[in-house]
Amino acid sequence: MQVILPLAGKGTRVRPHTHSRPKPLLRVRNKPVLAHVIDTVRAAGADEAICITGHLAGHIESYLEAEYPDLRCTYVEQTVQLGTAHAIGLAESYVHEPVLVIFVDTLFDADFGIIERRSEDDGIIWAKEVEDYQRFGVIVTDADGYMETIVEKPSEPISKLANIGVYYIRNYELMFEGIRDVMSRDPNKGEYYLTDAFQYMIDHGAKLYTAEVDGWYDCGKVETVLETNRILLERGGGRHTAGSSAGATLADPVCIAPDVVLEDSEVGPNVSIAAGSVIRGSRLRDCIIGENTHLKRCDLHDSLVGDHAVLEGVTGRANIGDHGEIRA
């Protein structure tokens, strides 16, 4: 099975981290968001990825080649970002079978076994019931659970099923026909939306079933990256013993790479520390610390710190990108 992964976004809401790395390579529970998604879809049978790249594309290619050498990957550059329909349309010439389409802004708990159980449907759209429906595009379904339309940010509770950006499209020819139709018209609010192509499919007789996910975890903003890290840790992210731990206290849940050095520090709860980092005389809670980063005399909470950073004497909340330095 193939999967299309749109990965071209600049990730402006998680700057400064995305100045030096693509948003899909931000880590939660010491693992890039992209890796969490790929592991999930490979378990569902995907063996080929069509990656729509743009911002810092070389980082994506290098990571996949190093970490997933047996995954067949095709890279297609989206030089101008015109919307989700435009991004998926770039994959058309490479798709030759039913395909998953997954936007790597979120993590999710989806039952992909439903793909075989609903083999007569033209596609499946996964959704999550939310209370703050006004923030999302919501799916309106008929009595049998098939999509009728998607309404962006409704003022009335016509539906609470939020569209989460995870799809399986069996009738891929009709999807691409719909994308071409969408691209032939004036943009919708300045963009070409994939959901408009789904509406085209329905208007031409397709049946797109709506399936709910058990969990949906945003990775699109600093605060939600930290929240998702917390959720994954609480679900059993695992406690790892640091390489050197002198006078350190750990409060679960934490995820600490084996070669991390901890000295005279309190770490946790809800802290991930990536490989090669050194933490001395510090207290950390609700934090993500990158690789080869050095913290000394810091008291941090709700903080996202990149790779190769140096922080000394910093107290409070910090949002520091790769190679940043603060010495107080």
DSSP 238: -
- 163 near 147, Cβ under 8 Å? no
Window from 20-34, 76-90, 145-159 with minimum mean pLDDT = 145-159
Q: Give the pLDDT band of residue 242 (cuts 50, 70, 90).
A: low
Percent of the chain with pLDDT over 70: 98
Q: Give the pLDDT band of residue 81 (cuts 50, 70, 90).
A: confident
Please state the rounded mean pLDDT for residues 26-45: 94
Nearest-angstrom CA–CA distance, 328 and 322: 18
pLDDT above 70 for 51? yes
Q: Give the pLDDT band of residue 168 (cuts 50, 70, 90).
A: very high
Please state the rounded mean pLDDT for residues 269-290: 96
Average confidence score pLDDT of the chain:
92
- 159 near 151, Cβ under 8 Å? yes
DSSP 93: G
Nearest-angstrom CA–CA distance, 124 and 108: 15
pLDDT above 80 for 157? no
Domains of the chain and CATH, by start:
2-223 (3.90.550.10), 238-327 (2.160.10.10)
State how far the alpha carbon of 182 is from the alpha carbons of 88, 133, 169, 282, in Å.
12, 25, 17, 54
pLDDT above 60 for 67? yes
Q: For 25-61, give the DSSP string.
A: G-EETTEEHHHHHHHHHHHTT--EEEEEE-TTHHHHH
pLDDT above 60 for 29? yes
pLDDT, residue 42, reads: 93
Backbone angles phi, psi at 232, to 5 degrees: -65, -40
Question: Tokens standing for 265?
Answer: 């520090």
Please state the rounded mean pLDDT for residues 262-269: 94
pLDDT, residue 243, reads: 59
pLDDT, residue 261, reads: 94
Nearest-angstrom CA–CA distance, 303 and 288: 6
Per-residue model confidence as pLDDT tens digits over 177-208: 999 999 999 887 788 999 999 999 999 999 99
DSSP 248: -
pLDDT, residue 10, reads: 87
Nearest-angstrom CA–CA distance, 27 and 304: 10
> Which residue is associated with the tokens 């939306």?
193
